[in-house]
Amino acid sequence: MKSKFLPIAVILLFLAGAMAGCTDEKDKKKTITISAAASLSDVLKETADAYQKEHKNEKIVFNFGGSGALSQQIIHGAPVDLFISAAKQPVDLIKDKGLTASEEAFFKNKLVLIVPKAAGNKQINFSNLDSGNVKKIAIGTPEAVPAGTYAKETLESLNKWGSLKEKLVYCKDVRQVLQYVESNNVDAGLVYYTDAITSKKVKVVSEAEDSWHQPIVYYTSIISDGKNRNEASGFLEFMKSEKAKSIFEGYGFSY
C-alpha cells in the first residue's frame, strides 16, 4: 500500500510546491531602481510613497548623490531603471554611450547663498564674499555636482571666482554643502533653494540671478537596459500628474 500511494503523494507535493511558486511569483514586487540628484531626496521619497499606494506590486529604491558621479556609475554598469539629474550634461554623457531610452526636461530650481543661523547678525551676501569676514565657502565640486557648476558660473559672472578659490570647500553633493553650513564649519554655502528651505539651521541671504548661471533644469532619463524600465516609465508618468506636481511645488520646485 505504501508503494502504491507514494507516487501520488510525491505528485501532490510537487503540485503544491508549484502552486506556491506561482503565488510567490505573483506576489513578488517589481523593484524600480532610481539614481537621482541628492537635492531630490526628500521630494522623491514622498512622491514614491504616493505612487506605491496606487501600485501595490511595485517597490521603489533610490540611490542619491551628485549627478555627475551617478552618471559614471550608470556608464560602468550600475543597475538603474531611471536617472534624474540636476543638469543636462550628466544625461548627455550616458546618452553618448547609448544607454538612454528616453530623455526629458522636467522641473526647475533656484540657486541661493546660505549662512548658518548660528552666525548671528554677521552680514554676508554675494558682494562681500571676498571680505575678511568670510573664511570658508562650501560649494559642490563643479566637475561632478551640477549645483557646484552653477555656483562656479555665478561666481565667475560676479568676477569673484579667482579671488575666492582659496576660500572654497568642495563637497560631494549639495546636501553635504548644506550640512557644512548647518554645522557652522563654513561661513557660507551655495545650494538650491529647495535644499535651503528644508533646514531650520540655515538662512537664505541672497538669491542668484538667472543671468548669472545656466538655467537650473532637472532632466529624466529611462535607462535602455534597465530591468524594470516599463515600470520606471509608469513612475515617470506619475511624476507628471497633478498629485505629484503639488508635492514638488510644496518642496519649492517649479515647472
Q: Are 170 and 148 in contact (CB under 8 A)?
A: yes
Assess if CATH 3.40.190.10 describes domain 24-108+216-250: yes
pLDDT at position 122 is 82
Range 161-179 average pLDDT: 97
**28 or 178: whose pLDDT is higher?**
178
Q: Name the pLDDT band for 121 (thresholds 50, 70, 90).
A: confident
Distance CA 224, CA 231 (A): 13
CATH homologous superfamily, domain 111-212 = Periplasmic binding protein-like II (3.40.190.10)
Distance CA 82, CA 105 (A): 14
Question: Is the fold of 24-108+216-250 the same as that of 111-212?
Answer: yes
pLDDT at position 12 is 45
Picking from 204, 191, 121, 178, the residue whose alpha carbon sits closest to that of residue 150 is: 191
Q: Is pLDDT of 181 > 50?
A: yes
96 burial via Cβ count (<10 Å: 0-12, 13-18, 19+): exposed
| Residue 39 annotated as lining a ligand binding site | yes
Distance CA 85, CA 106 (A): 10
* Domain residue extents for the chain: 24-108+216-250, 111-212
In the chain, the percentage of residues whose pLDDT exceeds 70 is: 89
Q: Name the pLDDT band for 27 (thresholds 50, 70, 90).
A: low
The strand pairing partners of 183, in sequence order, are none
In this prediction the pTM is 0.85
- The mean pLDDT value of the chain amounts to 91
